[in-house]
Chain A
Amino acid sequence: MVDVDLSLVNWSRAQFALTAMYHWIFVPLTLGLSFLCAMFESIYVRTGDEKWKAITRFWMTLFGINFAIGVATGIILEFQFGTNWSNYSWMVGDIFGAPLAIEGIFAFFLEATFFAVMFFGWNRVSKGFHLFSTWMVAVGSNLSALWILVANAWMQNPVGMAFNPETARFEMENFWAVLFSPVAMSKFTHTTSSGFLLGSLFVVTVSCWYLLKGRHVEMAKKSIVVASVFGLLASAYVGFTGDEAAFEVAQKQPMKLAAFEGLYKGEQGAGLVAAGIINGAKKPGDSQGPFLFEVKVPGLLSLLANRAPGSFVPGIDDLVYGNSEQKVMGVAAKMKLGQLAVADLAAFKQARQEKNDGAASEALARFSANKEFLGYGYLDTPEEAVPPVSTAFYSFHIMVILGSLFPVIFLALLFFTLKGKISETRWLLPLGLLSFFLGLVAQQMGWVVAEVGRQPWAIQGLMPVKMATTNLAVGHVQATFFMFLGLFTLLLIAEIKIMLKQISIGPEGL
């Protein structure tokens, strides 16, 4: 019914995923390391100990190398909404553009202005103003995360807006509802705290390398103490906000929850799959089991999803085909109403063009009755509403398992460092060395589950991704995809080499 070039959609998806995943290698490290630099410098200003200044400047150098490539990979994300998702941009620019503009005004300028002081102001401004500037860079980085995550959360849970049939677009009605939606808040807190965690893991990894090599031992120990305390606090908060985020997903995006739990048949008192191997042949509606192997904790999914142990959690089959007993409306039924909405919107636009007010008014009334199902009218089959289950399942579980490991690492490092035995605890240091890379994997998995899990929707329930793309020949997107792949890979190699060299050089004066 809708003429969409799926290869264009998929290449546009691939390009966005590529640029977002590259960007997200660097951003969480910026979020966390900026605060750690501010903490190290605070200790220096408080104690006046030059060793802490050397420690601060060392981590700041590494922060700067990472920050530059984070900025470089970030600019394309904002403009890509226009270049590759222009239909989306027009449809939701009213709502989605505002947070991006606010991000520019209040967050990016804060970062950009104080970044120069942080790096080049040591001898140009007072000690106190320099410390203030370092904190401002940290605050600015995290503020920028707030606005982009508000925008992303709105796509997952569109609130504070109404569809205007005259312009055929979504328009904002309540700014505060967009900003303070529970999905936005849980996404912001979960994402930034995971950045704090990753920043701490980075400091731990580099410090463990020094300890294994027997170099810069004092700096490494001091850094581990600060990073482990910060990392432990961040880990606890990541867990708490992760629970909140999952609860919001269960309430607002039940299909995503069902996908990342591999739950096909809804259950009362549903169990949580702690680990498992997905049955790749399983399709919605068939009788095969979803797992080849699974370890399940009885009743826990219902508790986490609904805060009620015996409650019903809908599965993929319930959501696709409906479950009248549990009052779950299926995608198939929504598609019928959505198709009516699409047709009535077209009739309304046609009547408007013909200046036939009577026909327009009737079409509008019909459209209004079904407008909440508009997005479903563009789906071709009910099964199209199911995201890739195995990708969502594995990414979610890898993220959670790794997330559970990090506080243990921080606790062990802190314990042995405070006991003065960290250099001799040879079994722990390789684990610490590995921890940053595990953190990066967890970060990437988090975004994979968030974004793959909400497919096929650009805006949950209202606009499928395939309706959001720019009308482009696919060759253009393929060309820019490979240009980005090549350029970002080149820059990543440069970043890694520079970073390793700086780590190998180590801090000055220690």
Chain B
Amino acid sequence: MIANLDYGTLQQLWWILCSVVGSLFLFLTFVQGGNTLLWQVAKNDVESALVMNSLGRKWEMTFTTLVLFGGALFAAFPKFYATSFGGAYWVWMLILFTFIIQAVSYEYRKKPDNFLGAKVYEFFLLINGTVGVLLIGAAVGTFFTGSNFTLNVYNQVSWTHPMRGLEAAFSLFNLSLGLFLVFNARVLGAMYLLNNINFSAMDSFKARLRKAVWVNFLCALPFLLYVLASLLLMQGFGVDEAGVVSMVANKYLLNLLAMPLVLGLLLVGLVLVILAVLATAFKGSDKGIWLAGLGTVLVGLAVFFTAGFNNTPFYPSKVDLQSSLTIYNASSSPYTLMAMTYVALGIPFVLAYVAYVWRQMDSQKLAAHEVMDHEAY
């Protein structure tokens, strides 16, 4: 069956798969968001230890999903990988730096003689959850606002802005998307902690987390509304049948109208997040993370599909429209996409054992007595 798929279908399939991985990553940023809450929700050592250990048992999943996102883009859309990572050098480098410092922070924070002190490792996690997530949002924002690059006849990238990608963070749309993701990650983080921790005799801790869900949602809202309004009203990048890229009025609104399923994903996703927030903040629910997580994944899918489908270049160039990348001109060869599709058949198996182990580990909520020994984070 896979062998019979045509090239265009394989390209679309791989855009969908990359979108799924990217959207799952956005859900898993609850780890990053949760870390940034440490100072606000944890008021003593036990509460801090619970936050760190709860998130510290999941950080690798987020990290690995990010690495897989990069690997999948490299394999399926190498021209994007080369153009964006090579061109927007600084935005990617800074994102990577924030993930490097994250990776050691859980393990080293409480270990004796850790050289930098616990506060520095906690600060590393704050940087990862704020700067890292914000820059990822800014990078995703360029899917809609465009970037400053040209490609020569051999498809080698030249970046025309001296800030080498960091300029993306100075666009109001990109910045708003980044800030929305930061606050959304904090909402998800608070919900995850509510779901994962045993709050026996810690009612005030729990109440602070509930408050954090609501406050961070309110903080996220203006940025979300600005991003949505801009997305619907802005000029976008379109590509015609001859492959010529041009500016199209209300392009992304037209995309959503042309793809009702994507519009549905967006609306359902937003509703799920809002319902989860309300249920968590005001109805005492501890399971909001699953609803909000699903909502985040659906919104993420809608964003990636709007950027890549319906004759839209997903990585447009502002300075040379014809250098813009579409899922059709940026992809690997049919053979590689087909081989990778066979490999992707293993993904459900991977998801199944991840879910099984997750359930095994989290069937009992994390209790205070588990996080105070020397092996805990």
Chain A residues at the B interface, C-beta cutoff of 8 Å: 57, 61, 64-65, 67-69, 71-73, 75-76, 78-79, 81-87, 89-90, 92-98, 100-106, 108-109, 111-117, 119-121, 123-125, 129, 133, 164, 167-169, 171-173, 175, 349, 353, 470-472, 476, 480, 483, 487, 490-491, 493-495, 497-498, 500-502, 505
Binary flags per residue of B50-92, CB closer than 8 Å to A gives 1, else 0: 0001000110110110111011101110110111111101101
Contacts of B336 in A (CB 8 A): 94-95, 97-98, 171-172
Name the one of B74, B81, B84, B335 contacting A172, with C-beta atoms under 8 angstroms: B335
Q: Which residue of A lies closest to B350 (CB)?
A: A109
Q: Closest 9 interchain pairs by CB?
A: A93-B78, A86-B86, A82-B85, A97-B75, A104-B68, A97-B74, A72-B103, A90-B82, A112-B60
**A residues less than 8 Å from B360 (CB atoms):** 117, 121, 124-125, 129
Nearest-CB distance from B207 to chain A (Å)?
Answer: 27
19 A–B contacts from the bound complex (CB under 8 Å): A65-B108, A65-B111, A68-B103, A86-B83, A86-B87, A86-B156, A89-B78, A92-B78, A97-B75, A98-B340, A101-B75, A104-B70, A117-B360, A353-B153, A470-B157, A472-B89, A487-B97, A493-B115, A494-B104
Given contacts A89-B82, A104-B72, 13 further A-B contacts (CB under 8 A): A72-B100, A75-B63, A79-B92, A82-B85, A87-B156, A94-B75, A100-B71, A101-B68, A109-B64, A109-B354, A113-B354, A167-B155, A497-B114
CB distance from A217 to the nearest CB of B (A): 23
- On whether the beta carbons of B357 and A113 are closer than 8 Å, the reply is yes
Alpha-carbon separation in the docked complex, A75 to B98 (Å): 11
- Closest B residue to A470 by CB, please name it: B86
Q: Are B155 and A117 in contact (CB-based, < 8 A)?
A: no
Residue of A nearest to B75 (CB): A97
Set of chain B residues within 8 Å of A480, measured between Cβ atoms: 89, 93
**B residues lining the A interface (CB < 8 Å):** 53, 57-58, 60-61, 63-64, 66-68, 70-72, 74-76, 78-79, 81-87, 89-90, 92-93, 96-97, 99-104, 106-108, 111-116, 153-159, 164, 332-333, 335-336, 339-340, 343-344, 346-347, 350, 353-354, 357-358, 360-361, 363-364, 370, 375
A30: min CB distance to chain B, Å: 13
Residue of B nearest to A471 (CB): B158
Shortest beta-carbon distance from A4 to chain B in Å: 12
Q: Is the CB of B89 within 8 A of A117?
A: no
A84-B86 contact in complex given A68-B108, A79-B92, A116-B361, C-beta closer than 8 Å: yes
Residue of A nearest to B61 (CB): A112
Residues in A neighbouring B339, C-beta threshold 8 A: 98, 172, 175
Q: Output the least CB separation between A357 and chain B (Å).
A: 17
Is the CB–CB distance between A105 and B86 below 8 Å? no
Given A83-B92, A125-B360, is A94 in contact with B332 using a C-beta cutoff of 8 Å?
Answer: yes
Does A120 lie within 8 Å of B86, measured CB to CB? no
CA–CA, A114 to B67, complex, Å? 17
Asked whether, in the complex, the Cβ of A93 is within 8 Å of the Cβ of B82, the reply is: yes
CB neighbours (8 Å) of A497 from chain B are: 113-115
The one of A68, A84, A175, A494 in contact with B116, judged by C-beta atoms closer than 8 angstroms, is: A494
Q: Which of A89, A95, A172 contacts B86 (CB 8 A)?
A: A89
Which residues in A have their C-beta under 8 angstroms from that of B115? 490, 493-494, 497-498
Option from B82, B92, B153, B357 in Cβ contact (under 8 Å) with A87: B82
A498 CA to B106 CA, complexed, in Å: 13
Label chain A's interface by main secondary structure: helix
In whole angstroms, how far apart are the Cα atoms of A500 and B360 in the complex? 34
Closest chain B residue, CB of each to CB of A120? B57
Give chain B residues whose Cβ lies under 8 Å from the Cβ of A471.
86, 156-159
A75 and B350 contacting across the interface, CB-CB below 8 Å: no
The answer on a CB contact under 8 Å between A106 and B357 is no
A168 near B155: Cβ-Cβ < 8 Å: yes
Q: Which chain A positions have C-beta within 8 A of B157?
A: 86, 470-471
Measured CA separation A498–B107 after assembly (Å): 10
Chain A contacts of B86 at CB under 8 A? 82-87, 89, 470-472
Known interface pairs A86-B157, A494-B104. Does A94 touch B78 (Cβ–Cβ under 8 Å)?
Answer: yes
**Inter-chain contact B63/A124, CB cutoff 8 Å:** no
| Complex Cα gap A116–B353 (Å) | 13
Rounded to whole Å, the gap between the CB of B197 and the closest CB of chain A is 14
CB-based contact B58/A101 at 8 Å: no
Q: Which residues of A contact B340 (CB under 8 A)?
A: 98, 101
Interface residues of B, dominant DSSP: helix
Q: A109–B63 Cα gap in the complex (Å)?
A: 10
Q: Which residues of B contact A121 (CB under 8 A)?
A: 360-361
Q: Which of B64, B70, B107, B156 contacts A65 (CB 8 A)?
A: B107
A500 — which chain B residues lie within 8 A by C-beta? Answer: 113
Complexed CA–CA distance, A71 and B154 (Å):
34
**B92 with A69: CB separation less than 8 A:** no
C-alpha gap A72/B102 in the complex (Å)? 8
Please state if B357 and A83 are interface contacts (CB–CB under 8 Å). Answer: no
Across the interface, which residues of A come within 8 angstroms of B71, CB to CB?
78, 97, 100-105
| Cβ distance A479 to chain B, nearest Cβ, rounded Å | 9
Q: Which residues of B contact A173 (CB under 8 A)?
A: 335
Within the complex, what minimum Cβ distance (angstroms) separates B11 from chain A? 13
With CB as the reference atom, state the residue of chain A lying closest to B157.
A86
Residues of A within 8 A of B97 (CB): 483, 487
Residue on B with the closest CB to A176?
B339
Whether A83 and B89, one on each chain, are in contact in the complex, defined by CB atoms closer than 8 angstroms, is yes
Q: Are B364 and A89 in contact (CB under 8 A)?
A: no
A residues less than 8 Å from B64 (CB atoms): 104, 108-109, 111-112
B114→A494 contact, CB < 8 A = yes
Which residues from chain B contact A75 at a C-beta distance below 8 Å?
63, 66-67, 96, 99-100, 103
Report the Cα distance A207→B112, complex, angstroms.
Answer: 21
Assembled-state Cα–Cα distance A103/B86 (Å): 22
- CB of A377 to closest CB in B, whole Å: 14
Q: Given A124-B364, A171-B335, are A476 and B89 also a contact pair (CB < 8 Å)?
A: yes
Give the residues in chain B near A112, CB-CB below 8 Å: 60-61, 63-64
CB-nearest residue of chain B to A86: B86
A78 touching B67 by the CB < 8 A rule? yes
Contact of A81 among B74, B106, B344, B346 (CB under 8 A): B74
- Closest chain B residue, CB of each to CB of A505: B112
Nearest chain A residue, comparing its CB with the CB of B371: A120
Q: Are A498 and B114 in contact (CB under 8 A)?
A: yes
List the A side residues contacting B335 at CB < 8 Å.
94, 171-173
Cβ of B344: which chain A residues have Cβ within 8 Å of it?
105
Q: Are A108 and B82 in contact (CB under 8 A)?
A: no
Expressed in whole angstroms, the minimum distance between the Cβ of B7 and any Cβ of chain A is 13
- Considering the complex, give the chain B residue whose CB is closest to the CB of A107: B64
Tell me, in angstroms, the Cα distance from A124 to B370 when the chains sit together: 11
Given that A79-B92, A98-B340 are known contacts, is A116 also in contact with B57, CB under 8 Å in the complex?
A: yes
Report whether A105 and B67 are in contact in the complex, using a CB–CB cutoff of 8 Å: no
Check B111–A502 contact: CB distance below 8 A.
yes
Q: Are B346 and A470 in contact (CB under 8 A)?
A: no
Could you tell me the distance between the alpha carbons of A65 and B112 in the complex, rounded to whole angstroms? Answer: 12
User: Which residue of chain B has its CB nearest to the CB of A57?
Assistant: B375
CB-CB under 8 A from B153, the residues of chain A are 349, 353
Q: Which residue of B lies closest to A123 (CB)?
A: B370
**C-alpha gap A119/B158 in the complex (Å):** 46
A73:B84 contact, CB within 8 angstroms: no
**Contact (A106, B346) CB under 8 Å given A87-B156, A100-B71, A116-B58:** yes
In the bound complex, CA of A495 to CA of B113 (Å): 10
CA distance A172 to B87 in the complex (A): 25
Closest chain A CB from B376 CB (angstroms): 8
Closest chain-A Cβ to B368's Cβ sits at a distance in Å of 14
**Which of A72, A104, A483 touches B104 (beta carbons < 8 Å)?**
A72
Question: Which chain A positions have C-beta within 8 A of B90?
Answer: 476
Inter-chain CA distance A117–B155, complex, in Å, is 45
Report B46 CB to chain A, min CB distance, Å.
Answer: 17
Q: Is the CB of B108 within 8 A of A101?
A: no
B63 to chain A, nearest CB (A): 7
